[in-house]
């Protein structure tokens, strides 16, 4: 064997200087005390951790980073963007403006609370940091108009909503952040199911590590992400990793822009780095998919981060993650000067263009009256091709995972299809809490694919002929729609606050009130935007744009 290399060390993810603009949350609950050996220690009370967490979870539910908003505006200003790209971007900007009012959160899926902290060696707490942070999560979710999404397993098969959105995912590391022993730094995230479900791990080999094969692999895998996680995306790709779980965690951090200050080249110490050239090539690759910002165009992604990590010679994990149009994260820090939180944009109206929707998109909008009998609604939809832009007005039934499972059990037991699914289009969604004086809380669409297994059974029984949700669906849904005369309409994923304020006029529970947001609801909508994605002739808009060409090599 050759002689061993000399010892050298670098952190796996060496980040550069912190360029974040912060705002002061409070200067209470922190102090500096003298310690042994002339050292100075920062003491942090549990109340300071709780207050910071509650404030952070509020902000990321209602505000976005200025850079993200600027990217949305850039889509509207880009002459190469498709009309559908611009329509989605404008709707997302309007949604951000409504959410910034602090009443309706930007997305109805207000997510799992994820908190990562790095505590310097001269920071003293009572040791129960995760509990204090979790209390802040509890305060935010119980006091604000957010949604409880966490299910506690009571047995292997039985679950119950915790009613507080706890537990949170809290991870605390013993590390001097940015080399400061007397600092405590954080990343706060709210990760909804749509984008969380688009985290992927692939176990590859050395054979992947050449330019042509890498681009073929990425073209195939990135198309499969689809639109159910609400693009345009902030896409992160991690190649390598000391373990599979480290690759996945790095991809999550990269999608939140947490690793933007990584080095841009590697060294023999084995640290991770960003490949800026590959980032640009992958971004251009996604521009050519044709998927666009949900309904065709160039803007499948806002941007791309590619991180290369060291690896074991026998392993080559590849992790992919996205941050969706509800780009919810913020960094924070506690220092001797106080408790500080990233300054997010509280006035997103300044990113709105001085143009009307009609000026952005001259395509025909088909108005569909949902008050008509189902056969007439289907006959109207059958006149138009996929990608047709629709405006829906009238009653919708709302049902998602648990309600579908219960109705399927009834059908299996020989009971008839509920009349409400025979008479009305079904919207896959689950609302956030309804603020006082509003007809509805934030009420955006759920990922359609989760209900794919029920479609054929339901349509054969005379229901679910017209479905409304977000994202692409499986071939079995297309076959069922062709066989039974059904339609799948895609709603814009992301603008849940705008839908609640402008489109949803009345909400009432039809069945299963004990299920909370998973109950069956009936809502009245007005000018609810949608697109025909799957029709009764077997056409599926996403069928072509999700097929890899596998002909692209790295230039």
Residue 4: inside a domain: no
pLDDT band at 472; cut points 50, 70, 90: confident
The torsion angles phi and psi of 55, rounded to 5 degrees, stand at -65, -40
* pLDDT for residue 423: 97
Name the nearest CA neighbour of 339 among 174, 125, 190, 121.
125
Instruction: Note whether 132 and 216 are same-domain residues.
Output: no
Average the pLDDT over 148-163 and give the result. Answer: 95
- What's the Cα-to-Cα distance from 243 to each of 171, 203, 256, 303, 319, rounded to whole Å? 18, 10, 21, 26, 11
The token duo for 430 is: 């689950």
Mean pLDDT of 456-474: 95
Print the domain residue range for 231: 194-325
Given this model, what pLDDT does residue 261 score? 96
When pLDDT is averaged across residues 182-204 and rounded to a whole number, the result is 96
Average pLDDT over residues 411-438: 95
Asked if residue 336 and residue 295 are part of one domain, the reply reads no
36 CB-near residues (< 8 Å, 6+ apart):
none
Mean per-residue pLDDT, 50-62:
98
Q: Average model confidence (pLDDT) for the chain?
A: 93
- Same domain, residue pair 101 and 243: no
Q: What is the pLDDT of residue 493?
A: 84
- 174 plus 55 within the same structural domain: yes
122 has a pLDDT exceeding 60? yes
Please tell me the predicted confidence (pLDDT) of residue 358.
55
Q: Which two tokens stand for residue 486?
A: 């059904």
Q: Is residue 2 part of a domain?
A: no
Residues 221 and 83 in one domain: no
- 241 within some domain: yes
Give this prediction's pTM. 0.88
Question: Does residue 553 carry a pLDDT above 60?
Answer: no
pLDDT at residue 554 is higher than 50: no
Tell me which of 364 and 521 has the higher pLDDT: 521
Q: Are residues 152 and 49 in the same domain?
A: yes
Shared-domain flag, residues 180 and 270: no
Asked if residue 292 and residue 340 are part of one domain, the reply reads: no
* One domain, residues 198 and 183: no
Q: Count the domains in the chain.
A: 3
Q: What's the pLDDT at 295? A: 85
Question: 304 and 394 share a domain?
Answer: no
Confirm whether 546 is domain-assigned.
no
Average pLDDT of the residues in 281-300? 94
Question: Last residue of some domain: 325, 345, 373?
Answer: 325
Provide the pLDDT confidence category of residue 517 given band limits of 50, 70 and 90. confident
The answer to whether the beta carbons of residues 508 and 486 sit under 8 Å apart is no
Confidence of residue 548 (pLDDT cuts 50, 70, 90): low
How far is the C-alpha of 515 from the C-alpha of 517, rounded, in Å?
Answer: 6
| Mean pLDDT along residues 314-324 | 97
Mean pLDDT of 107-111: 94
Domain endpoint, select from 336, 355, 374:
355
Cα–Cα dist 277/270, whole Å = 20
Of 325, 374, 421, 286, residue with least CA distance to 72? 325
The pLDDT of 417-443, averaged and rounded, is 94
| 442, part of any domain | yes
CATH of the domain at 245: 3.30.1330
Q: Reply yes or no on whether the pLDDT at 348 is more than 80.
A: yes
- Identify the residue whose tokens are 């954080």: 186
Q: Is the per-residue pLDDT at 402 higher than 80? A: yes
- Helix ranges (DSSP H) in 119-178: 129-143
For residue 31, being part of any structural domain is answered with: yes
At 546 the pLDDT is 59
* Residue 2: per-residue pLDDT: 64
For residues 555 and 527, the model is more confident at 527
Mean pLDDT of 178-192: 96
DSSP string for residues in 29-95: TEEEEE-GGG-EEEEE-HHHHHHHHHHHHHHHHH-B-HHHHHHHHHHHH-TTS-HHHHHHHHHHHHH
Q: What is the pLDDT of residue 296?
A: 87
According to DSSP, the β-strands at 389-398 and 365-369 are parallel
The pLDDT-based confidence of 550 (bands split at 50, 70, 90) is very low
Residue 356 has pLDDT above 80, yes or no: no
Residues 219 and 336 in one domain: no
- Considering the domain architecture, whether residues 261 and 215 belong to the same structural domain is answered as yes
Phi, psi angle pair for 322, to nearest 5°:
-130, 150
How far is Cα 199 from Cα 353, in angstroms, rounded to an integer? 33
Is 8 inside a domain boundary? no
Q: Could you give the strand order of the β-sheet that contains 301-311, starting from the edge strand earlier in sequence?
A: 200-204, 316-323, 233-241, 301-311, 273-274
CA 481 to chain centre: 28
- Asked if the structure places residue 543 within a domain, the reply is no
Residue 375: CATH number of its domain = 3.20.130.10
Strand ordering across the sheet containing 40-44: 30-34, 40-44, 123-124
């Amino acid at each position: 064997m050759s002689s061993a290399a000399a010892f050298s060390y670098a952190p796996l993810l060496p980040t550069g200087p912190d360029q974040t603009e912060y705002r002061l949350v409070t200067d209470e609950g922190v102090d500096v005390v003298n310690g042994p050996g002339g050292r100075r220690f920062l003491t942090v009370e549990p109340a300071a951790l709780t207050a910071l967490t509650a404030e952070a979870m509020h902000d990321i539910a209602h505000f976005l980073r200025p850079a993200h908003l600027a990217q949305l505006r850039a889509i509207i200003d880009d002459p190469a963007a498709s009309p559908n790209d611009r329509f989605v971007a404008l709707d997302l900007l309007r949604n951000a403006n409504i959410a910034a009012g602090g009443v309706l959160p930007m997305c109805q899926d207000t997510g799992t609370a994820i908190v990562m902290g790095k505590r310097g060696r001269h920071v003293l707490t009572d040791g129960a940091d995760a509990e204090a942070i979790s209390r802040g999560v509890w305060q935010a979710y119980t006091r604000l108009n957010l949604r409880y999404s966490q299910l506690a397993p009571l047995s292997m098969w039985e679950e119950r909503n915790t009613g507080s959105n706890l537990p949170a995912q809290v991870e605390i590391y013993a590390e001097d952040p940015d080399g400061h022993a007397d600092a405590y730094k954080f990343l706060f995230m709210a990760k909804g199911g749509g984008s969380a479900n688009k985290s992927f791990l692939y176990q590859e080999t050395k054979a992947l590590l050449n330019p042509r094969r890498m681009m073929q692999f990425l073209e195939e895998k990135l198309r499969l992400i689809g639109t159910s996680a609400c693009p345009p995306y902030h896409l992160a790709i991690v190649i390598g990793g000391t373990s599979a779980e480290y690759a996945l965690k790095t991809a999550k951090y990269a999608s939140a822009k947490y690793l933007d200050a990584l080095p841009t080249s590697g060294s023999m110490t084995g640290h991770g780095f960003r490949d800026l050239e590959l980032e640009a090539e992958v971004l251009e690759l996604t521009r050519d998919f044709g998927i666009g910002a949900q309904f065709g165009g160039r803007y499948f992604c806002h941007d791309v981060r590619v991180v290369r990590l060291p690896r074991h010679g026998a392993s080559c994990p590849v992790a992919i993650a996205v941050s969706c149009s509800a780009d919810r994260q913020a960094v924070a820090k506690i220092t001797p000067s106080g408790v500080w939180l990233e300054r997010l944009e509280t006035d997103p109206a300044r990113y709105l263009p001085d143009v009307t929707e009609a000026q952005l998109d001259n395509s025909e909008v088909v108005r569909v009256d949902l008050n008509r009998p189902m056969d007439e609604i289907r006959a109207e939809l059958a006149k138009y091709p996929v990608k047709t832009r629709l405006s829906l007005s009238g009653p919708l039934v709302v049902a998602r995972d648990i309600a579908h499972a219960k109705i399927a059990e009834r059908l299996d037991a020989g009971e008839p299809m509920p009349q409400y699914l025979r008479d009305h289009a079904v919207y896959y969604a689950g609302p956030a809490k309804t603020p006082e004086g509003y007809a509805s809380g934030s009420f955006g669409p759920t990922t359609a694919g989760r209900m794919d297994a029920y479609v054929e059974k339901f349509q054969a029984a005379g229901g679910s002929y017209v479905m409304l949700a977000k994202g692409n669906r499986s071939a079995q849904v297309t076959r069922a729609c062709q066989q039974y005369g059904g339609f799948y309409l895609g709603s814009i994923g992301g603008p849940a606050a705008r839908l609640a304020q402008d489109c949803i006029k009345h909400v009432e529970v039809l069945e299963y009130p004990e299920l909370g947001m998973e109950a069956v609801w009936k809502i009245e909508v007005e000018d609810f935007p949608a697109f025909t994605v799957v029709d009764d002739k077997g056409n599926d808009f996403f069928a072509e744009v999700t097929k890899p060409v596998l002909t692209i090599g790295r230039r």
